[in-house]
Amino acid sequence: MNGQPASTGVGLRPMTDADAAAVLAIYQAGLDGGDASFETVAPTWAAFDAGKLPGHRLVAVDGRAAGRGAGGGVLLGWVAVCPVSARPVYAGVVEHSVYVSPGARGRGVGRLLLAGLIASTEAAGIWTIQAGVFPENTASLAVHRAAGFRTVGVRERLGRHAARGDRWRDVVLIERRSPHAG
Ligand SMILES: CC(C)(COP(=O)(O)OP(=O)(O)OC[C@H]1O[C@@H](n2cnc3c(N)ncnc32)[C@H](O)[C@@H]1OP(=O)(O)O)[C@@H](O)C(=O)NCCC(=O)NCCS
């Protein structure tokens, strides 16, 4: 565990391959809600693993149920990042995803995951974390605002969402800029 408890017994640890099934199940549950992403189906573990930077993958676990999940504890949520570009000038800019199991939301798990991600990326010299959030995803906007993210702007009708009647949807671009860089 390397995070502060969100509620009694909850902590963070690095994600491992053994977490794959639980991570993807939480991912799919978030997608099923319809306001987390344009995606409708969680990727395979191979695709997830290939796309996410290995050094900044964390899971939140309920330590009170230790032993029931990979590495101990039931998985409550996860956070991971991918690079936004292969260009060296953007080496310190990442885009993150954060997903909390439906039954564990509203307990500070998302806040804990974002705090862990920020600590991890700060330690690695990453200067910007960004994400696109649907305006309707008020929980995500709130938890990110509380974690120090700001709204850059609203990208209007950025993509068509198959899971929401194939309609065009706006995306709020948010970012957290490291106070220690540039
Ligand atoms: C967005 C998400 C990660 C938030 O995680 P969470 O564990 O429920 O959030 P937390 O309990 O840590 O909440 C932290 C803060 O966010 C705000 N917040 C959380 N849920 C909220 C809600 N439904 N409405 C309004 N504010 C909310 C509160 O300010 C809260 O602070 P408080 O506890 O002091 O009141 C979670 O709802 C989720 O997994 N959603 C589905 C997937 C998704 O949308 N991911 C983000 C894609 S951009």
**Range in 64-68, 82-86, 169-173 with the lowest mean pLDDT:** 64-68
Contacts of 178 (CB under 8 A, 6+ apart): 121, 122, 126, 127, 128
pTM of the model: 0.93
Model confidence over 78-109: pLDDT tens digits? Answer: 999 999 999 999 999 999 999 999 999 999 99
Confidence grade of residue 73 (pLDDT, cut at 50, 70, 90): confident
Q: Is residue 2 one of the residues assigned to a domain?
A: no
Query: Quick one: three-class SS letters along 30-48?
Result: HHHCCCCCCCCCCCCHHHH
Q: Is residue 87 one of the residues assigned to a domain?
A: yes
CA 79 to ligand 1 centroid distance, Å? 13
Closest approach atom of ligand 1 to CA 114: 12
Q: What's the domain range around 68?
A: 10-177
Q: Is residue 50 one of the residues assigned to a domain?
A: yes
More confident residue, 118 or 67: 118
Q: Is residue 31 one of the residues assigned to a domain?
A: yes
Mutational pocket test of ligand 1: of 99, 105, 170, 174, the residue with most ligand atoms within 8 Å of the beta carbon? 105
Model confidence over 6-36: pLDDT tens digits? Answer: 556 899 999 999 999 999 999 999 999 999 9
Q: Is residue 4 one of the residues assigned to a domain?
A: no
Cα–Cα distance for residue pair 175/90, rounded to 1 Å: 14
Mutational pocket test of ligand 1: of 37, 76, 111, the residue with most ligand atoms within 8 Å of the beta carbon? 111
Query: How many domains does the chain fold into?
Result: 1
Q: Is residue 1 one of the residues assigned to a domain?
A: no
Q: Is residue 182 one of the residues assigned to a domain?
A: no
Cα–Cα distance for residue pair 60/76, rounded to 1 Å: 5
Pocket lined around ligand 1, Cβ cut-off 6 Å:
30, 33, 36, 98-100, 105-111, 131, 133, 137-140, 142-143, 146
Max intra-chain CA distance, the chain: 46
3-state secondary structure of 101: coil
Here the CATH number for the domain that contains residue 34 is: 3.40.630.30
